[in-house]
Homo-oligomer: A and B are copies of this chain.
Amino acid sequence: MSNQKLFHVAVVGATGAVGEQIIRLLETRDFPIEKLTLLSSERSAGTKLTFKGNDITVKAATPDSFKGVDIALFSAGGGVSLELIPHAISHGAVCIDNTSAYRMDPDTPLVVPEVNIDRINEHKGVIANPNCSTIQMVAALKPLYDRYGISRIIVSTYQAVSGAGSRAIDEMLRQSKEILAGNTVEPQILPVGALPVKHQIAFNAIPQIDKFTENGFTYEEMKMINETKKILGDDSLEVTATCVRIPVVYGHSESVYVEMKQDFDLEEVKQLLADAPGIVLQDNPAEQQYPLAADAAGKLETFVGRVRRDLSNPRGLNMWIVSDNLLKGAAWNAVQIAEYIAIEQK
């Protein structure tokens, strides 16, 4: 890596759950960094974070924070992205946005490196990171899509509370302790912080992630539907989704049913998955081996198992897809994109 170009990298939302993971990954991946600027809201500014043994003071993000920045990773909410990304672009930064702000913008590439890294150079200053539940699903489906074609996807998710931020994790753990002690709980955060009605998440399953749209689906479900079509570049793909929060801290699980356009060989399906980049096949019923959220936590890969043919439709396939929602579902996918940008620009 000698003579490699070094980059001035900014992390916006540095004190959040995803921001923390991004900083850790930039460190462990030894990203070619010349300078690291950590940005946050006014409220969190002044926090000191450690990067490669040095303390860095987090500053409040403003339009002027991006002077000299080469790559800016945003995960501070859609409003912050919409406000600050135009300024970052005008200062010459390439932005990687973890929020939903730019995902469906036709001029913005929506990238999962294992699926469509070829779109990365089409960017006009911003590359969008897909929704966590979408990323792991399309990463696992891509080799099957390429080989057989996929006509429809029916997915039900089992999503971790960390997807709703650190306060949701705290709430779930606190509720669990209270209920185990025989006390009642007063839900305050989940399912959606900005909405009035709160539900118990400990020892429960909440079929609402994000707000509802007018068609009865939630925004989370619409993200899975629309982003999957955009990433695979296939508007004819039929997708339906039910997104559910369960009392797990890290790791989204998904029960995915797909219909292929062609007949498939089940052993070939497993081999395609085993050989796919970023995918680990964990599928041995005889040994009770299949992906588990608790095992996937902290890992970068997407794990796939319970791969079996639908007994009523020979072109139907059931599978179980698990990945760490803060890593491949957010921070790692963003840092992967940053690594590709670094390679392109070196």
Binding site for B on A (CB under 8 A): 152, 154, 156, 158, 173, 176-177, 180, 191-192, 195-197, 199-200, 203-208, 212, 215-217, 225, 238-240, 242, 244, 246-249, 253, 255, 257, 285-294, 305-313, 316, 318, 320
Contact = CB atoms under 8 A, between A and B. Distances in A.
B217 A308 contact: yes
Contacts of A212: 285-286, 288
Nearest to A308: B216
26 contacts: A152-B313, A154-B257, A156-B242, A180-B180, A196-B288, A200-B292, A200-B294, A203-B248, A203-B249, A204-B248, A205-B293, A206-B292, A207-B253, A207-B291, A207-B320, A208-B290, A216-B306, A238-B310, A240-B311, A240-B312, A240-B316, A240-B318, A242-B306, A244-B253, A244-B255, A246-B246
Contacts of A306: 207, 216, 242
A196 to B, nearest CB: 8
Contacts of A305: 207
A287 B192 CA distance: 12
A158 B242 contact: no
A199 to B, nearest CB: 6
Contacts of A199: 288, 292, 294
A295 to B, nearest CB: 9
A287 B242 contact: no
Pick from A249, A288, A308, A316 the residue with the most CB of B within 10 Å.
A288
Contacts of A205: 158, 246, 248, 253, 292-293
A171 to B, nearest CB: 13
Contacts of A309: 215-216
A316 B225 CA distance: 15
A208 B64 CA distance: 53
A287 B211 CA distance: 11
A71 B292 CA distance: 43
